[in-house]
Amino acid sequence: MFTTNPFDDDKLREECGIFGVSRAETASAIVALGLHALQHRGQEAAGITSWDGHDFHTHRAMGHVAGNFDRDEVIRGLPGDTACGHVRYSTTGETSLRNVQPLYAELNSGGFAIAHNGNISNAMKLRRELIRRGSIFQSTSDTEVIIHLVATSSYRTLLDKFIDALKQIEGAYSLIVMTPEGMIACRDPLGIRPLVMGKLGDATIFASETVAFDVVGADYVRTVEPGELVIVTNEGDIRSHRPFGETHARPCIFEHVYFSRPDSIIDNSSVYSVRKAIGAQLAIENPVDADYVIPVPDSGVPAAIGYAQQSGIPFELGIIRSHYIGRTFIQPGDKVRHLGVKLKHNANRALIEGKRIVLIDDSIVRGTTSLKIVQMMRESGAAEVHMRIASPPTKHSCFYGVDTPERTKLLAHKLDIGGMQDFIHADSLAFISIDGLYKALGETKRADIRPQYCDACFTGDYPTTLTDQDDVVVQNQLELLAERVV
């Protein structure tokens, strides 16, 4: 049985990853390799759908890509020169096979397969309306709403039906769609979730990150622009549609901080280089006297290198990470649960004993891991433990495809920085400023009007309407009022 690692519940989970290829021999094998490269974006489930010119074929499974798609018989069961795939974390809908993507349906125009990275923030309202009109849902995923909107659209062509569906949804989406006519790749008008385009010989490839192109030997071509639909026909013709007109991009800033692999390129910038720049800016804003700069592996490593280079404090590996715990670890009993952090991280006692150390991490979510890491350092003899975070305090939940805890469970929502420092028992705690983060990304500062990125998890400035959340708030207020009347 697949279970989530209980020691990974203090990180923001990396939404999902999508990969598609059109007009390539053994397309499904290429997709499987691409999904391997995107495994960090979703580790609960994986799926691939292929098109052989006559029929669609799908294989979906819980767990990792390896073990599910590294067998010849599985790939042989996914024939055709066009295929798309998905790795998933459950941000909307429960963890079950019926929600694993790509989702597939037979429409009046033929087969329709869809892989989605993001979250539709008015999905519940649309779902209620569609059910009232007679739609029958097979999953609890917000992605299925798109299928029903396409199926019930009054427009004539499939492309127009699809655009009609997109214009009814709110929130964040990068999509890869397969139909008998070809492949469509698109991003929401704000470009919140990433999507890039590449070439492998005559084949056209789409992926959440450029690192997937490196793995399959493809060349990066360009970013799919916010609000753009790229259509690849079965004959190889490529067309671009922009049904939303001019848009103001607000891509997710956390892709640079944590989600994307450091060897990826986002908007022509190396993620690794940006994270080093974030660490350098963090050192400028929050210096400290110490003997070593130590990353919390693995996500804190590039920022720690930047911090060390800027501050002149030596970079050392004071925490050693085990790469074998995985995310299928059997749930331990309560008596050993508190020891779980040492299964993943262990202190390099010989290095840190008697030393003043600066711990660098990408973020603090609930704070429980930071507390255990600081405690581990003290138990190993560290003289001082200073915590520096390569992002501003995470005070708000994400509704755009990131599995964030409820706001009330975010440590930065409950406590100020002094309170957070006391909670994790550090000698000092500091975060990079929001303007400092933007500066590390090449901007002068965060724009007061129409900011350059979606940074709602830090600022609470959500770039779209949150219809479903607003409905929940209203419903809760009505229920509270009813209780008072009674």
Give domain limits for the chain: 10-251, 272-459
Q: Among candidates 114, 265, 107, 135, which has minimal Cα distance to 178?
A: 114
The predicted pLDDT at position 2 comes to: 35
- What is the DSSP-derived secondary structure letter of residue 201? T
Q: Are 47 and 61 in contact (CB under 8 A)?
A: yes
Which residue in the list 16, 84, 186, 454 is annotated as catalytic? 16
Q: Are 70 and 48 in contact (CB under 8 A)?
A: no
The predicted pLDDT at position 14 comes to: 54
Burial class for 481, CB neighbours closer than 10 Å (0-12, 13-18, 19+): exposed
**Residue 446: phi, psi to the nearest 5?**
-75, 130
Torsion (CA) 119, 123, 124, 130 in degrees, nearest 10: -150
How many other C-beta atoms can be found within 10 angstroms of the C-beta atom of residue 251?
21
DSSP states of 157-195 as a string?
SHHHHHHHHHTT--EEEEEEEEETTEEEEEE-TT--S--
> Is 16 known to be catalytic?
yes
The predicted pLDDT at position 340 comes to: 55
The overall pTM is greater than 0.85: yes
Query: DSSP E strands: which ranges in 218-282?
Result: 219-223, 229-233, 238-241, 265-266, 269-270
The predicted pLDDT at position 470 comes to: 79
Amino acid in position 241:
H
The residues near 348 (Cβ < 8 Å, ≥ 6 apart) are 316, 317, 318, 319, 320, 380
- Within 13 A of 307's CA, how many CA atoms are on the CB side? 35
The residues near 373 (Cβ < 8 Å, ≥ 6 apart) are 296, 319, 341, 345, 359, 361
- Does this chain's domain 10-251 share its CATH topology with 272-459? no
Positions of the chain with pLDDT lower than 70, given as ranges? 1-15, 90-95, 324-343, 471-486
CATH of domain 10-251: 3.60.20.10
Structure tokens at 257: 């901080």
The residues near 261 (Cβ < 8 Å, ≥ 6 apart) are 37, 40, 209, 211, 271
Q: Which fold has domain 272-459?
A: Rossmann fold (3.40.50)
Alpha carbons 62 and 326: distance in angstroms, whole number: 14
